[in-house]
């Protein structure tokens, strides 16, 4: 039985974030995607601390769909090294999990 998976990535602009979010839902890879931002990201790149404004995409998907979502997102992502983090939701309301399963089947 599928479990709810939470995943996220960031992109540099709102238009890219909204396009990825909409297509992930349209393609049946995510039940819901929230776009948050702007957020300020500090990270090390090529030996220097960088500081950029980004938009976070927060995906809700199932354990059966997460591998396909990851492959698709990394394929359309504008970054050379996109962030991808996913975790299993430990405590999901039964009705929300059922909704996500129905949407993604």
Peptide bond just before 38 cis, omega within 30 deg: yes
d(C-alpha 24, C-alpha 34), whole Å:
11
Mean pLDDT by 10 residues, the chain (105 residues): 94 98 98 98 96 98 98 96 96 96 95
Length of the chain: 105
Q: Considering its fold, how many domains does the chain have in total?
A: 1
Percentage of residues in the chain having pLDDT higher than 90: 97
Domain that holds residue 67: 4-104
| CATH of residue 82 | 3.30.70.120
Q: Strand, coil or helix: what is 7? A: strand
Total-model pTM: 0.94
If phi over 0 gives left and psi between -120 and 50 gives alpha, with beta otherwise, what is residue 17?
Answer: alpha
């Amino acid at each position: 039985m599928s479990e709810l998976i939470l995943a996220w990535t960031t992109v540099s602009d709102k238009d890219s974030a909204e396009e990825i979010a909409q297509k992930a839902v349209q393609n049946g890879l995510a039940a819901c995607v929230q776009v948050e931002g702007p957020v300020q990201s500090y990270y090390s790149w090529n030996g220097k601390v960088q500081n950029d404004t980004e938009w976070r995409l927060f995906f809700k998907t199932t354990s059966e769909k997460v591998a396909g979502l990851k492959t698709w997102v990394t394929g359309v992502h504008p970054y050379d090294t996109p962030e991808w983090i996913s975790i299993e939701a430990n405590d999901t309301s039964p009705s929300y999990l059922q909704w996500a399963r129905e949407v993604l089947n």
